[in-house]
Amino acid sequence: MNIPDNFKVIDHSLIHHKLGIIRDKNTEPKEFRELVTETTMLLAYEATKNLFLKDAEVQTPITTTQVKTVAVSDIVLVPILRAGLGMVEG
């Protein structure tokens, strides 16, 4: 299969497992919605792993420490087709 350079295939065991249950015709609507939300979180985790980070300082209960925070202030999610709208909630 010829995959474009800007296309990312996520091959993750938990995603495969959840998609299998989602695709099952016997899956109840409530479980379906929950699985879509869970799958969306896993996809978001993968999709955001290379976001730019910046240094910041926070006050812990004991001392001040340096941390990394996401440098991007505005992240926009755009669902593709109507079927993607269920993923926006997650």
Average confidence score pLDDT of the chain: 87
Residue range 60-74, pLDDT digits in tens? 999 999 999 999 877
In angstroms, the Cα distances linking 61 to 32, 57, 64, 65 are 41, 13, 8, 10
Tell me the whole-structure pTM to 2 decimals: 0.69
- Alpha-carbon distance of 25 to 34, in angstroms, equals 15
Residue 6 covered by a domain: no
Neighbouring C-alpha atoms within 13 Å toward the C-beta of 3: 7
Residue 62 covered by a domain: yes
Neighbours of 35 (CB within 10 A): 19
Average pLDDT over residues 11-26: 95
Residue 54 covered by a domain: yes
Residue 8 covered by a domain: no
Instruction: Report phi then psi at 7, rounded to 5.
Output: -110, 130
CATH code where residue 24 lies? 3.40.50.2020
Domain that holds residue 57: 13-88
- Alpha-carbon distance of 57 to 65, in angstroms, equals 6
Residue 4 covered by a domain: no
Q: What's the domain count of the chain?
A: 1
